[in-house]
Amino acid sequence: MKVSNFVDFIPFRTVNAQNPLMGDVSLNGSVQAYDASLLLQRVANQITFNTIQNYVADVSANAGISAFDASLVLQYIVGKIRNFPAEVLQKSGNVVIDKASGSIFLDNFKLKNNTEFILPVRLLNSKNIQSIELDLNFDQNYIEYLGQEASTFTDGYQTLHSISNGVLNLRFAGVNALADSGTIIYLKFKAKDNIVGDISTKIFISKFLANEDELTSYCNESTIQIEGNRVTNVDAQNISLNNIYPNPIKENLNIKFELKENSFVLVEVFDIYGKKVAELMNEANVNADVYHLIWKTKENGEQVYKNGHYIIKLSTANSVLTSKVIVE
């Protein structure tokens, strides 16, 4: 195709544009390790393919693109296989791929806030696994992802990871099947330092694809118990907190308190990270009396505040009172 007086542009250096080579997702006329790398990037949603690239990428003939396609490309490059399953299917109409099996095990942790910890991701009782796709979910409000450390168990494997909105995508592809059991990667996290009170959170696997076999149900979850900052009351001289109910909160929280002498009154709500989410009362000169406030966690049946722990803080001229509540 002529694009100028001096340059000829050839769209694809493959067999031809209508019949490109299977596995040649770079469309440069040959199948290389670079194609396997591109496949992993595509599976990790880091890049996109055009229509022709999507066609040649599905070398497993599974009507989709997976890390297993990257593994097959690597196997083809080193001569372990002579044809892709998609090519065999076109010729014979039948292709058989060994089923993969195995499970993922994650440890539990009990630690203080502002503490780093390393989570080994262990593969157990694996069979015929040459590629892995793992999606790990964690709550970014409590845990920060710091990075990963490689494992000798996956030496020789192409690996890729990406993270978005508390979901860590891990992709692995190799030529040979992984050994029976071992740690595929070490993940480094940190419990955040602004957690108030004790909380429990989870790291769980929402996707475990071994080759192209769905094995998510064969994964456990990691429970992370975090000891957060302590909240203490300061010399409650001129105020008493009579009642806060119901707790846990389904919709409305009732807050009853008695002011024993005239004072300013400030009633605030903080989330577990110390961010103020509501101000229920802020009066400069309040008479001594009994007061009743309501914190509405729902409006017209719709959730206004996320489920979790909150701190109610009552401040006067001489005192500060706090109370922890839970929104469900």
62-121, pLDDT tens digit by residue?
889 999 999 999 999 999 999 999 888 877 767 678 899 999 999 999 999 999 999 999
Structural domains counted in the chain: 3
Domain end position, chosen among 198, 227, 256: 227
pLDDT at 18 exceeding the cut of 60: no
Measured distance CA(86)–CA(103) in Å, rounded: 28
Same domain, residue pair 126 and 197: yes
Q: Check if the beta carbon of residue 38 is closer than 8 Å to that of residue 173.
A: no
Same domain, residue pair 143 and 161: yes
Measured distance CA(90)–CA(73) in Å, rounded: 17
Domain end position, chosen among 204, 227, 250: 227
Higher pLDDT: 247 or 125? It is 125
Look at residues 185, 181, 141 and name the one whose alpha carbon lies nearest to residue 161.
185
Domain residues for the domain of 110 are: 101-227
Measured distance CA(310)–CA(141) in Å, rounded: 13
* Distances in whole angstroms, Cα of residue 29 to Cα of each of 7, 21, 320: 20, 7, 73
Q: What is the CATH number of the domain that holds 307?
A: 2.60.40.1930
Measured distance CA(224)–CA(234) in Å, rounded: 31
User: For residue 234, is it within any domain?
Assistant: no
pTM for the structure as a whole: 0.69
- DSSP state letter for 15: S
pLDDT at 53 exceeding the cut of 50: yes
Q: What is the mean pLDDT of residues 274-284?
A: 90
What token pair was written down for 121?
């991701």
Same domain, residue pair 81 and 4: yes
212-228, pLDDT tens digit by residue?
999 999 999 999 999 88
Measured distance CA(276)–CA(139) in Å, rounded: 20
Q: Check if the beta carbon of residue 204 is closer than 8 Å to that of residue 135.
A: no
Measured distance CA(255)–CA(295) in Å, rounded: 8
Residues of the chain above pLDDT 90, percent: 59
Look at residues 91, 67, 79, 69 and name the one whose alpha carbon lies nearest to residue 22.
69
User: For residue 166, is it within any domain?
Assistant: yes
55-73, pLDDT tens digit by residue?
999 999 988 999 999 999 9
- Residue 216 region, left (φ>0) first, then alpha (ψ -120 to 50), else beta? alpha
Same domain, residue pair 93 and 210: no
pLDDT at 2 exceeding the cut of 60: no
Same domain, residue pair 221 and 248: no
Measured distance CA(307)–CA(309) in Å, rounded: 7
User: For residue 1, is it within any domain?
Assistant: yes
User: For residue 122, is it within any domain?
Assistant: yes
Q: What is the CATH number of the domain that holds 179?
A: 2.60.40.680
Same domain, residue pair 127 and 221: yes
Same domain, residue pair 192 and 245: no
User: For residue 232, is it within any domain?
Assistant: no
User: For residue 233, is it within any domain?
Assistant: no
Same domain, residue pair 5 and 93: yes
pLDDT score of 237: 59
pLDDT score of 84: 92
Measured distance CA(168)–CA(165) in Å, rounded: 8
Same domain, residue pair 315 and 277: yes
pLDDT score of 234: 52
Measured distance CA(114)–CA(185) in Å, rounded: 23
Same domain, residue pair 166 and 222: yes
End-to-end Cα separation, the chain, in angstroms: 63
How sure is the predictor about 16, in pLDDT bands with cuts at 50, 70 and 90? Answer: very low
288-316, pLDDT tens digit by residue?
999 999 999 998 888 899 898 898 988 88
| Burial class (CB within 10 angstroms; exposed 0-12, middle 13-18, buried 19+) of 85 | buried
Residues of the chain above pLDDT 70, percent: 89
Same domain, residue pair 88 and 106: no
Q: What is the CATH number of the domain that holds 42?
A: 1.10.1330.10
What token pair was written down for 292?
């009743």
pLDDT at 199 exceeding the cut of 60: yes
pLDDT-wise least confident of 76-85, 238-247, 318-327: 238-247
Same domain, residue pair 106 and 223: yes
Q: What angle do CA 307, 310, 311 make, to 5 degrees?
A: 170
What token pair was written down for 304?
């206004």
Query: Which residue has 């118990």 as its token pair?
Result: 225
Domain end position, chosen among 97, 113, 142: 97
